[in-house]
Structures are given as C-alpha cells and as structure tokens.
C-alpha cells in the first residue's frame, strides 16, 4: 500500500451515479464517487475506470493538460481505492460509453491493500469458495449487484401482492423452547441457563395467528441443523410463509401460483439489464400450473424405470428425472399422509392421502404447503403417531380451544426462488453470507 493519508470527503457529494453520466452532460462539471476498477496507463494518457453501485464511467487523464495535483493523486491510485473525482464531462466518439470525465480534482477516500484476494478485473475468475472468503469484495462485482437487485424485487413483489390480497406481515419468535415440531434437527441455544432452540419454521405460530388475523405472512430467517452437503441446502435460510383462515390447499395453491406469476413478471418487466448481466432468460409461468398427484408422479417415474413404492419418499435422483420430464413449474399434490408433517390434513375420503402439496421448479422444491389439521383430537393423534409428545405442544393445542378456524398455508424458500430467477446453480452464490455445514465465516 502506498503511503498516503485518505482525503476527507469535505463538502463533496455525489452529483451523478457512474452509469447516469451521459452525453447530455457534455461540458458540465460533476462529482462522481466510487472505486477504481481498472487503471489503463498509456504513458502520457491514463484511463481510470470508476465503479459505483450503478456501473462504471471512464476518467481520462491527459497528463500534459491536467494540473499537477491531479497527476500526483493519479500516480498513487491502485485498483479498489475509493476515490472522488470532480471534473468536466466530455462527449467522445472514441470511448465505448461515448462519454468521459476530465478531472480537475481527485480525492483518495479509502485505500486498498494489495494484493487483493480476488482479481477485481475478473480476468481470472475465482471459485465460489474463494469468493465467499472475500465476500465483500466479491459483492462489488456487477453480477452480484444484479442478484441482490433481483432479490430486492422479489421481496417487494411478494409483499405488495400479499398486502393487496389482505395479508398482514408478522414476526414470530426465532428463539423457541424444547417443544417443537419434531423432525428436522435444531440448533440449541443457551437461554439464560434454559435449553432453547433456533426456530426451523414459523409453522405453529402462523397457524395460531389465523385465529386473530385470518391472513398473515412472514419473511425471515430459519435454521436447520442438518448435515446437508448439497448446492440447495443451507443451515440458515429465508422463508416466505403465509397462512390463511377459512380456506383449503386448493385456495392457497392458487394464491401461490398467482404471486409467483406476479413476481416473475415484475422481475422480467423491470430488471432486464440485470438479467442480461446474468445472461439469464426467464419466462413467466403460464397459469394454471400443472398439478400432478403423487400417484401420477410415481407412475411417470415407473415408466422411466424408477420404481418407488406408494408411501415412500421420492429420492433426489428421481426428482432429477422429473425435472427433465417437466422443465417448468408444477405442483405435486395428494402426498401420502405419513410422508407429510403431523399438521397436514388428510383427505376425508382417504386418510392415507393428505392435502399437502409441493411447488416444484424442474427438479427442485420451491415451496410446500397444504390444508392444516384443525381438529384438536386429530392433531393429538397425529402427534402420537409421529412419536411426538402432545404435552410438549400444550400451548399450541390450547389454541384449538379458542376457536381455531380451518386454515391452510405454504412456505417458499427465498434463495431457491432466487436461484430460479438468476440461473445460479449453487445456493451459496445467492446468499450474502451463507451458512452451511462447514462455513460459519465471514
């Protein structure tokens, strides 16, 4: 690192984002603030590519024409330095963007220690692991900014759609007591000497809330202590949950496909530049989405040579085959009751078959939901059958004595939606600071 103290920002404020500097500004004095992405030094002529959250703009320094202060500052610059440039915009036919800035003053606002852990010019791409170890630097890449603008848009679309549909956003506890839903492994927490756990889903709370609010949704992180080693699982993930009173699985499936369509359309309509950066094309789902029963899926798999007995779970390789047969969104319905959680209602006509469903995208599960059990006796029975102690659920069961309405809901994985919308194949790439079996930092 060259010996230089950072300049102060003083009264400098950004007058333009890099990508907004265009030929219309020809001859105007502007201030841009950002980072040195690249320096191309041709001797008596130097080019600095300045990058900010919007994109890049070229600073051109004809060394014989600019003043000495600018030259001195320029000679100190290295890539990734945070700088401010005040200068005159010049229209040009030679530069690719058709515009450049001739600086009258340069301020160094933040230095960078070289060598950096990543090649910021991206001439030598790094592996996902290396990028995650230097995540903040990695996130400066244009492609990453595109991913998080898409995430922001997904969340905004979900919230807008659900709010319009009359849902209100709620927050349920992340710290819970021993009494849980069973199943997935939980992370334990020392809660003032008491044993506590990190929530794996808001399931029971959101069901209870239908009693007072009827329509609720929640967006937030949940935790699963599974030893998973795949590119679609995380220890900490963001779940988008809804729960609604006085409806069944069919109703919330319709809601799910509509919000999905709305979200996809919103991204396609508003974020073409981002999708271009990611070199990813998406088409919105055409409604209604196909619905296959679990039994139909088994038949299809059988034709593919994959024999699964009725009642068994579908193994990953079988899902991959399904993805090839159905390269789009589709529902799988009428799962065996025993392969679904205790709170999923079974059919009146056949207790072996449930009203639970999964929303699939190719081979990957994006969301799952169903009609919920709303008879206390049935729920107690189901708890027992899954080896859980009803006494641990007494607070939840009590709500059934307060007039719990029939209800249904679903949960969608935000990161998996993002994978679908960005074309990324490793879930870690679409999480700012992913947590998995071995990664706890940064």
Partner RNA sequence: GCCCUGGUAGUAUAGUCCGGUCUAGUAUAAGCGGCUGUCGCCCGCUCGACCCGGGUUCAAAUCCCGGCCAGGGCGCCA
Pick between residue 79 and residue 151 the one whose CB is nearest to RNA. 79
Q: Binding to RNA by residue 185, rule CB under 7 A?
A: yes
> Is 232 in contact with 251 (CB distance < 8 Å)?
no
Give the position of tokens 């759609």: 161
> Is 234 in contact with 434 (CB distance < 8 Å)?
yes
Q: Binding to RNA by residue 425, rule CB under 7 A?
A: yes
Binding mask 309-328 for RNA (x = CB under 7 A): ----x-xxx--x--------
Shortest distance in whole angstroms from residue 314 CB to RNA: 8
Pick between residue 75 and residue 163 the one whose CB is nearest to RNA. 75
Shortest distance in whole angstroms from residue 257 CB to RNA: 20
Which residues does 342 contact at the CB level (< 8 Å), separation at least 6? Answer: 181, 182, 373, 379, 382, 383, 385, 386, 388
* Helix residue ranges, H only, 19-114: 68-76
Shortest distance in whole angstroms from residue 112 CB to RNA: 9
Q: Quote the CA–CA distance of 362 and 326 in Å, as a whole number.
A: 6
Pick between residue 73 and residue 428 the one whose CB is nearest to RNA. 428
Shortest distance in whole angstroms from residue 223 CB to RNA: 11
Give the position of tokens 């299809």: 300
Q: Binding to RNA by residue 391, rule CB under 7 A?
A: no
Q: What are phi and psi of 268, to 5 degrees?
A: -65, -40
Token code pair at residue 416: 């998996």
Q: Binding to RNA by residue 403, rule CB under 7 A?
A: no
Q: Quote the CA–CA distance of 234 and 6 in Å, as a whole number.
A: 40
Shortest distance in whole angstroms from residue 193 CB to RNA: 26
Q: Kindly determine how many residues on this chain lie close enough to bind RNA according to the rule CB under 7 A.
A: 70
Q: Binding to RNA by residue 38, rule CB under 7 A?
A: yes
Q: Binding to RNA by residue 42, rule CB under 7 A?
A: yes
Q: Binding to RNA by residue 65, rule CB under 7 A?
A: yes
Shortest distance in whole angstroms from residue 250 CB to RNA: 20
Q: Binding to RNA by residue 142, rule CB under 7 A?
A: no
DSSP state of 372: B
Q: Is 325 exposed, middle or buried (0-12, 13-18, 19+ CB in 10 A)?
A: middle
What percent of the chain is helix, strand and coil (3-state, nearest 5)? 35, 25, 40
Pick between residue 153 and residue 337 the one whose CB is nearest to RNA. 337
Q: Is 418 exposed, middle or buried (0-12, 13-18, 19+ CB in 10 A)?
A: buried
Which of 423, 427, 417, 419 lies closest to 260, judged by CA?
A: 417
Shortest distance in whole angstroms from residue 266 CB to RNA: 27
Pick between residue 52 and residue 261 the one whose CB is nearest to RNA. 52
Other CB atoms closer than 10 Å to residue 152's CB: what's the count? 11
Q: Binding to RNA by residue 415, rule CB under 7 A?
A: no
Pick between residue 36 and residue 245 the one whose CB is nearest to RNA. 36
Task: Return the exposure string of 209-237: e unless at least 16 CB atoms fall within 10 Å of the residue's CB, then b.
Answer: bbeebbbbbbbbebbbebeeeeebbbbbb
Shortest distance in whole angstroms from residue 415 CB to RNA: 13
Q: Which stretch binds RNA (CB under 7 A): 56-64, 144-152, 164-172, 284-292?
A: 56-64
Binding mask 208-227 for RNA (x = CB under 7 A): ----------------x-xx
Of the candidate residues 64, 164, 279, 303, the single one contacting RNA (CB under 7 A): 64
Task: Return the exposure string of 119-143: e unless at least 16 CB atoms fall within 10 Å of the residue's CB, then b.
Answer: ebeeeeebeeeebbbebebbebbbb
Contacts to RNA by CB under 7 A = 38-45, 47, 58, 60, 62, 64-65, 78-79, 92, 94-97, 100, 114-119, 121, 123-130, 181-185, 200-201, 203, 224, 226-231, 233, 313, 315-317, 320, 340-342, 368, 386, 411, 425-426, 428, 437-439
């Amino acid at each position: 690192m060259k010996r230089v103290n950072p300049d102060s920002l003083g009264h400098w404020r950004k007058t333009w984002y890099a990508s907004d500097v265009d030929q219309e500004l020809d001859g105007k004095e502007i201030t841009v603030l950002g980072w040195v992405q690249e320096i191309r030094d041709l001797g008596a002529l130097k080019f600095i590519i300045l990058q900010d959250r919007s994109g890049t703009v070229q600073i051109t320094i004809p060394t014989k024409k600019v003043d000495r202060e600018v030259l001195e500052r320029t000679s100190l610059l290295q890539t990734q330095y945070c700088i401010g440039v005040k200068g005159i915009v010049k229209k040009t036919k030679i530069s690719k963007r058709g515009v450049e800035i001739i600086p009258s003053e340069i301020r160094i606002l933040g230095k960078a220690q070289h060598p950096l852990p990543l090649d910021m010019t991206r001439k030598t791409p790094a592996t996902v692991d290396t990028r995650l170890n230097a995540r903040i630097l990695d996130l400066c890449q244009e492609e990453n900014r595109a991913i998080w603008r898409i995430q922001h848009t997904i969340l905004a679309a979900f919230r807008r759609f659900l709010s319009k549909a009359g849902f209100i956003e709620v927050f349920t506890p992340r710290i819970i007591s021993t009494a849980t839903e069973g199943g997935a492994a939980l992370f334990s927490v020392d809660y003032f000497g008491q044993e506590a756990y990190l929530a794996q889903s808001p399931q029971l709370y959101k069901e209870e809330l239908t009693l007072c609010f009827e329509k609720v949704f929640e967006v937030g992180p949940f935790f699963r202590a599974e030893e998973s080693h795949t590119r679609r699982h995380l220890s900490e993930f963001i779940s988008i949950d809804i729960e609604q009173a006085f409806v069944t699985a069919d109703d919330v499936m319709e809601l799910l496909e509509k919000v999905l369509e709305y979200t996809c359309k919103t991204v396609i309509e508003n974020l073409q530049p981002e999708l271009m950066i990611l070199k990813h094309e998406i088409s919105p789902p055409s409604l209604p989405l196909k619905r296959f029963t679990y039994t139909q899926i088994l038949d299809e798999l059988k034709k593919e040579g994959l024999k699964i007995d009725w009642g068994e779970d579908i193994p990953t390789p079988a899902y991959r085959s399904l993805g090839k047969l159905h390269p789009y969104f589709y529902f799988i319905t009428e799962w065996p009751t025993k392969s679904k959680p205790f709170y999923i209602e079974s059919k009146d006509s056949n207790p072996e078959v449930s009203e639970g469903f999964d929303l699939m995208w190719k081979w990957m599960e994006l969301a799952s939901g169903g009609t919920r059990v709303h008879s206390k006796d049935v729920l107690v029975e189901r708890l027992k059958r899954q080896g859980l102690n009803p006494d641990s659920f007494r607070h939840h069961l009590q709500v059934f004595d307060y007039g719990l309405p029939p209800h249904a809901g679903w949960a969608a994985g935000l990161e998996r939606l993002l994978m679908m919308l960005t074309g990324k194949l490793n879930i870690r790439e679409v999480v700012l600071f992913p947590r998995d079996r071995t990664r706890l930092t940064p």
